[in-house]
């Protein structure tokens, strides 16, 4: 904890510049910050990486007293506090991981009025001792982070979050700001009611993340495809790879490591110590890949994650968007890559089929999956589709796979009819159910053991589908399933007709399908997004300086035991490497260099640059 209070006069903008070292506010930040500084309540919806933290950190610095931040992510509180301390902000936390002595120190700092920000776990507010403590200090505001926890059914933290309505009753004059990246109308309404924020200013920012390139590719050999992505486009980059099962997390991490790429596994089956160690290495080291189940990532604010890859289909667009949003928080170009295939659709559909819960629950799961599948199969801009899901209109983005390499759509009606009548005949003439593989073998006229054993070569549809290759038929089955024209049944994932199948068979319904574009050997690298916020590729001449600064940062971070990005973000180092400041004043003009960091690291940075000049 630094002991001199920060200069607050001049208000929010000077805090942004002097403490955080940024030039200007982003999006709706200023509106929210001004409103909260003036004592108003706010409910803020911004995408992951949108810049929510400043919305409460700056008012906490501008207003007298301490800003109290409620966050469920206790494993990350230490890093958050370290990052603030590096900026010269007086911050502390209270949670169950702490020993008595450090708890006491934080409590005393708070009551003395020596804290700008105090992080608390939500359960803390159920203890009268904590409430009493808050009474003894001066409160600048309450920030309720991850506010969707109050609404999500079955969420671990829900009971604690529901209890947060006491804040308003007990301290009616203290402004409250609730923040979330979960965007749907229903969630927003529920947060407002549950937290007693119906009169609060609601600020919904654009959910677009223009620097992320969205790509969804047909799944063939997912691990090899992933390896190709990493080694050709993201060598040396930090990234997150999501898999559905623990086993596939382990196998994928091993596969990458065996191929010389530093990767660590993370899933709920690992013991807590290993998990914490892997998370800490991912945050602290440069260029590490975390292979994880979706248990990983909430609240991880590592800014330089350059790609997020999904090897399995996410269950909903909300999940997909939150996970992919962890890429490129620093605003530099990043990739969201998903490999998706027939087996994913079959698996997810039969999971829903076999899930516990009532019909309404299964319908909800189905609707989520349908929206996800529509995103995968669209021939239009992925971003337009994603933003429309969150109720926001946009124009084709120029920075997703369908914009960059437009797929064709083709009339798949006849193909769908052939497939559906194969299923119909199996069922009607033989009383049998089979999976996609057998149906495709029949259509292709393959006399496999299984085909001859069941005498499926006698069916009238045997061999009627020779015009398409096996791979193309799999795409037809996948898209027919995705469009709900075919269903998956039982634990073996056999295919069955649906009410909508009849319309196709009777020729009343046309079925349009997506044809994957021919991949050129060297894929055109994606261009920057619309926002123009994305830095260009690092010029070759700046590379040695950037590498040198990164090495300096790694050593400095290790020495002080903090993640590298707490020292400086990549974006800041990049700009230093390009502009080569020669004085402290020039250095302070660079985004991300605030007063505390200038004082602490300024001379060292200039020294690194001079050393480089002498060497070159």
Q: Which residues would be at the binding site for ligand ADP (CB under 6 A)?
A: 22, 25-26, 29, 46, 48-54, 301, 303, 329-330
d(CA 91, CA 112): 13
Cβ atoms of 177 and 41 within 8 Å: the answer is: yes
Q: Which is nearer to ligand ADP, 332 or 461 (CB)?
A: 332
Minimum distance from residue 572 beta carbon to ligand ADP (Å)? 10
Residue 572 interaction partner, one of ligand ADP, Zn ion, none, beta carbon < 5-8 Å per kind:
none
The 387-406 contact track toward Zn ion, x by CB under 5 A, reads: ----------x--x--x---
Question: Which of ligand ADP, Zn ion, none does residue 403 bind (CB under 5 to 8 Å by kind)?
Answer: Zn ion
| Residue with smaller CB distance to ligand ADP, 429 or 533 | 533
Output the six-digit token pair for 38. 């003036």
Closest approach, Cβ 334 to ligand ADP, in A, equals 12
Rounded to 10 deg, the angle between the 53-62 and 29-37 helix axes is: 30
Q: Quick check: 376 binds Zn ion (CB under 5 A)?
A: no
Alpha-carbon span 415 to 473, nearest angstrom: 8
Q: Identify what 381 binds: Zn ion, ligand ADP, none; CB under 5 to 8 Å per kind.
A: Zn ion
- The CA-atom distances, in angstroms, between 293 and each of 34, 243, 282, 309, 509 are 39, 5, 15, 12, 39
- Kindly state the smallest distance separating residue 227's Cβ from ligand ADP, in Å: 29
Torsion of CA 380, 384, 390, 393, to 10 degrees: -130
Under rule CB under 5 A, residue 86 binds Zn ion: no
53: partner contacted, choices Zn ion, ligand ADP, none (Cβ within 5-8 A by kind) = ligand ADP
* Nearest distance in Å: CB 462, Zn ion: 42
- List, in order, residues 6 or more apart from 466 with CB less than 8 Å away: 444, 445
Q: Which one of residues 183, 381, 426, 439 is an interface residue with Zn ion (CB under 5 A)? A: 381
How far lies 593's CA from each of 14, 70, 298, 568, in Å? 13, 28, 27, 8
Of 179 and 342, nearer to ligand ADP (C-beta) is 179
The residue among 60 and 486 lying less far from ligand ADP, judged by its C-beta, is 60
383 near Zn ion, rule: CB under 5 A: yes
- Does residue 216 touch Zn ion according to CB under 5 A? no
For 175, the 3-state DSSP assignment is coil
The count of C-alpha atoms lying within 13 angstroms of the C-alpha of 238, restricted to the half-sphere facing its C-beta, is 23
The C-alpha atoms of residue 382 and residue 449 are separated, in whole angstroms, by: 42
Q: Does 76 bind Zn ion (CB under 5 A)?
A: no
Q: Which is nearest to 436 in space by CA: 345, 315, 340?
A: 345
| Shortest Å distance, C-beta 48 to ligand ADP | 5
Q: What does DSSP assign to residue 20?
A: I
Residue 52 binding: pick among ligand ADP, Zn ion, none (C-beta 5-8 Å cut-off by kind): ligand ADP
Q: Determine contact, residues 109/92, Cβ cutoff 8 Å.
A: yes
Backbone phi and psi for residue 3, each to the nearest 5 degrees, phi listed first: -110, -5
- Six-digit token pair at 573? 């180092």
215 near Zn ion (CB under 5 A): no
312, interface contact from Zn ion, ligand ADP, none, CB < 5-8 Å by kind: none
Length of the chain: 616
* SS3 (DSSP) at 527: coil
Helix (H) or strand (E) holding 291: strand 289-292
On the CB side of 304, how many CA atoms lie within 13 Å of its CA?
24
- Closer to Zn ion by CB, 402 or 438: give it: 402
> Nearer to ligand ADP by C-beta: 49 or 137?
49
> What gap in Å lies between CA 245 and CA 291, rounded to an integer?
11
Output 46 or 327, the one with its CB closest to ligand ADP: 46
182 binds, among Zn ion, ligand ADP, none (CB under 5 to 8 A by kind): none
In the sheet that 289-292 helps form, which strands lie side by side, from edge to edge? 212-218, 334-340, 305-310, 238-242, 289-292, 263-266
Q: Which does 301 bind (CB under 5 to 8 A by kind): ligand ADP, Zn ion, none?
A: ligand ADP
Q: Least distance from C-beta 380 to Zn ion, angstroms?
A: 8
Question: Rule CB under 5 A: which of 290-349 touch Zn ion?
Answer: none
Is the CB of residue 253 less than 8 Å from the CB of residue 265?
Answer: yes
Interaction partner, residue 195 (ligand ADP, Zn ion, none; CB < 5-8 Å by kind): none
Q: Which is nearer to ligand ADP, 293 or 322 (CB)?
A: 322
As measured in angstroms, the least distance from the Cβ of 301 to ligand ADP is 4
22/424 with CB nearer ligand ADP: 22
CA atoms within 13 A on the CB side of 389: 24
Residue 20: CB minimum distance to ligand ADP, A: 7
How near is the Cβ of 401 to Zn ion at its closest, in Å?
8
171 binds, among Zn ion, ligand ADP, none (CB under 5 to 8 A by kind): none
Residues at the site binding Zn ion, with contacts judged by CB under 5 A: 381, 383, 397, 400, 403
């Amino acid at each position: 904890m630094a002991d001199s209070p920060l200069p607050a006069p001049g208000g929010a903008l000077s805090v942004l510049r002097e403490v955080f070292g940024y030039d200007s506010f982003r999006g709706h930040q200023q509106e929210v910050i001004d409103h909260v500084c003036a004592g108003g309540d706010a409910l803020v919806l911004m995408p992951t990486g949108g810049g929510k933290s400043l919305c409460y950190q700056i008012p906490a610095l501008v207003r007298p007293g301490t800003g109290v931040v409620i966050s469920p992510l206790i494993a990350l509180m230490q890093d958050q506090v370290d990052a603030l301390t590096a900026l010269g902000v007086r911050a502390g936390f209270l949670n169950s991981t702490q020993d008595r002595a450090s708890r006491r120190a934080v409590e005393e700092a708070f009551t003395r009025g020596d804290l700008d920000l105090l992080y608390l776990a939500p359960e803390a507010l159920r203890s009268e001792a904590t409430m009493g403590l808050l009474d003894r200090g001066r409160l600048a505001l309450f920030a309720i982070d991850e506010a969707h926890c109050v609404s999500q059914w079955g969420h671990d933290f829900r009971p604690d979050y529901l209890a947060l309505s006491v804040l308003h009753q007990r301290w009616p004059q203290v402004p409250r700001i609730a923040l979330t990246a979960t965007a749907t109308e229903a969630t927003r309404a529920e947060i407002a009611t549950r937290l007693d924020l119906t009169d609060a200013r609601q600020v919904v920012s654009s959910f677009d993340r223009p620097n992320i390139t969205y790509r969804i590719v047909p799944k063939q050999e997912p691990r090899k495809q992933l390896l190709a992505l990493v080694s050709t486009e993201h060598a040396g980059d930090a990234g997150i790879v999501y898999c559905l099962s623990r086993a596939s997390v382990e196998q994928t991490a091993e596969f990458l490591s065996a191929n010389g790429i530093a990767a660590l596994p993370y899933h709920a089956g690992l013991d807590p110590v290993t998990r914490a160690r892997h998370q800490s290495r991912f945050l602290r080291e440069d260029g590490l890949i975390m292979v994880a189940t979706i248990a990983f990532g909430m609240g991880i604010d590592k800014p330089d994650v350059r790609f997020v890859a999904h090897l399995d289909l996410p269950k909903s667009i909300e999940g997909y968007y939150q996970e992919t949003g962890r890429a490129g928080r620093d605003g530099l170009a990043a990739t969201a890559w998903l490999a998706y295939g027939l087996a994913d659709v079959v698996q997810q559909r039969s999971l829903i089929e076999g899930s516990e819960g009532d019909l309404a629950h299964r319908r909800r799961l189905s609707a989520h999956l349908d929206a996800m599948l529509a995103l995968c199969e669209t021939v239009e801009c992925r971003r337009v589709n994603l933003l429309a899901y969150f109720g926001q209109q946009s124009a084709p983005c120029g920075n997703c796979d369908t914009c960059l390499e437009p797929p064709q759509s083709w009339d798949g009606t006849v193909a769908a009819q052939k497939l559906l009548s194969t299923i119909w005949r199996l069922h009607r003439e033989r009383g049998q159910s089979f999976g996609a593989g057998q149906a495709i073998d029949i259509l292709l006229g393959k006399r496999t053991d299984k085909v001859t054993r069941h005498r499926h070569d006698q069916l009238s549809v045997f061999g009627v589908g020779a015009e398409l290759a096996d791979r193309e038929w799999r795409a037809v089955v996948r898209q027919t399933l995705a469009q709900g024209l075919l269903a998956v049944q039982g634990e073996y994932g056999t295919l069955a007709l649906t009410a909508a199948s009849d319309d196709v068979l009777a020729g009343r319904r046309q079925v349009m399908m997506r044809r994957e574009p021919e991949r050129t050997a060297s894929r055109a690298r994606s261009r920057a997004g619309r926002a123009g916020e994305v830095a260009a590729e690092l010029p070759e001449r700046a590379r040695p300086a950037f590498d040198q600064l990164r090495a300096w940062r790694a050593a400095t971070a290790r020495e002080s035991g903090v993640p590298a990005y707490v020292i400086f973000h990549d974006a800041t180092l990049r700009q230093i490497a390009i502009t080569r400041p020669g004085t402290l004043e020039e250095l302070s003009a660079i985004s991300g260099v605030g007063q505390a960091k200038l004082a602490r690291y300024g001379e060292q940075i200039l020294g690194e640059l001079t050393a480089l000049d002498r060497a070159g």
